[in-house]
């Protein structure tokens, strides 16, 4: 059995970046995940992560979404990149995609499909005016894409899904299990990270898995440098076992 630690994190674009840069650097130095999936990435945060996680690689591609929305980092001594891509889920933000990377886990000689997405915000104009939520359809498109891409590989899907109801049901119906349920742990709010941000506590950020991989434990990260958190969201961290 081989273990890997995976983190998903919404980085809150560049809001209050001067305050949050050092807390983010300190968190990454402490946590040092084997795989890191990101949402609301920006060039300043990408450059900080590159300088901090020097033993990691990420996707380097001309499509702007890899710089201004999402990306995937992996420990270079643990994985090799096999393939990657960005699938359009119809999100309302033009650069958002289902970002994915097929990584070869060297110790177990196993490929793992790692993917991340940021579903449309609940406060989008159409939904705020009483229209339907776009997130169940985005979840179904995610499921369709992963069904097509995965083959027999274990699959990880994670991100800021901006929901805790119907999109989660869609993913579960497609055979995905979230990291908390698999461990028998209660769901925990992932937003906001007070006192850095404000709002009603919500479970917005998730990790899911399917296939020959299992979640061994999972938690929502609580980290501050002084009284400043690295983001308005909290990271979701899970340890997985593969190659059993």
Predicted confidence (pLDDT) per residue in 115-135, tens digit: 999 999 998 998 989 999 999
Residue 82: the pLDDT is: 98
pLDDT in tens, 129-165: 999 999 999 999 999 999 999 999 999 999 999 999 9
pTM: 0.97
CATH dotted code for 2-242: 3.60.10.10
Over residues 205-226, the pLDDT tens digits come to: 999 999 999 999 999 999 999 9
pLDDT at 243: 85
Task: Name the percent of the chain lying above pLDDT 90.
Answer: 95
Residue 203: pLDDT above 80? Answer: yes
State the pLDDT at residue 26: 98
Q: What is the pLDDT of residue 29?
A: 98
Residue of higher predicted confidence among 6 and 184:
6
In this prediction, residue 184 carries a pLDDT of 87
Domain definitions of the chain by residue range: 2-242
Residue 225's contacts (CB-CB under 8 Å, 6 or more residues apart) are: 22, 23, 26, 27
Confidence of residue 27 (pLDDT cuts 50, 70, 90): very high
What is the mean predicted confidence (pLDDT) over 61-69?
98
């Amino acid at each position: 059995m081989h273990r890997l630690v995976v983190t998903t994190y919404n980085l809150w674009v560049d809001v209050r970046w001067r305050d949050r840069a050092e807390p983010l650097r300190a968190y990454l130095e402490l946590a040092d995940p084997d795989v890191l999936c990101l949402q609301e990435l920006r060039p300043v945060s990408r450059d900080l992560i590159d300088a901090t996680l020097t033993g990691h690689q990420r996707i380097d591609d001309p499509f702007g979404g890899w710089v201004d929305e999402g990306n995937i980092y992996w420990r270079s001594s643990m994985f090799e990149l096999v393939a990657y891509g960005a699938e359009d889920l119809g999100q309302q933000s033009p650069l958002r995609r289902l970002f994915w990377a097929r990584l070869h886990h060297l110790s177990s000689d196993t490929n793992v499909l790692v993917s991340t997405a940021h579903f449309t915000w609940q406060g989008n104009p159409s939904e705020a005016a009483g229209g339907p939520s776009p997130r169940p359809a985005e979840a179904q498109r995610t499921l369709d894409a992963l069904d097509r891409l995965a083959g027999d590989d274990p699959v990880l899907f994670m991100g800021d899904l901006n929901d805790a109801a119907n999109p989660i049901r869609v993913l579960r119906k497609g055979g995905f299990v979230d990291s908390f349920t698999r461990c028998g742990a209660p769901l925990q709010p992932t937003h906001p990270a007070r006192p850095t941000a404000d709002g009603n506590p919500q479970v917005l950020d998730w990790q899911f898995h399917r296939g020959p991989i299992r979640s061994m434990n999972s938690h929502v990260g609580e980290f501050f440098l002084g009284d400043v958190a690295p983001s308005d969201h909290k990271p979701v961290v899970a340890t997985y076992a593969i190659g059993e």
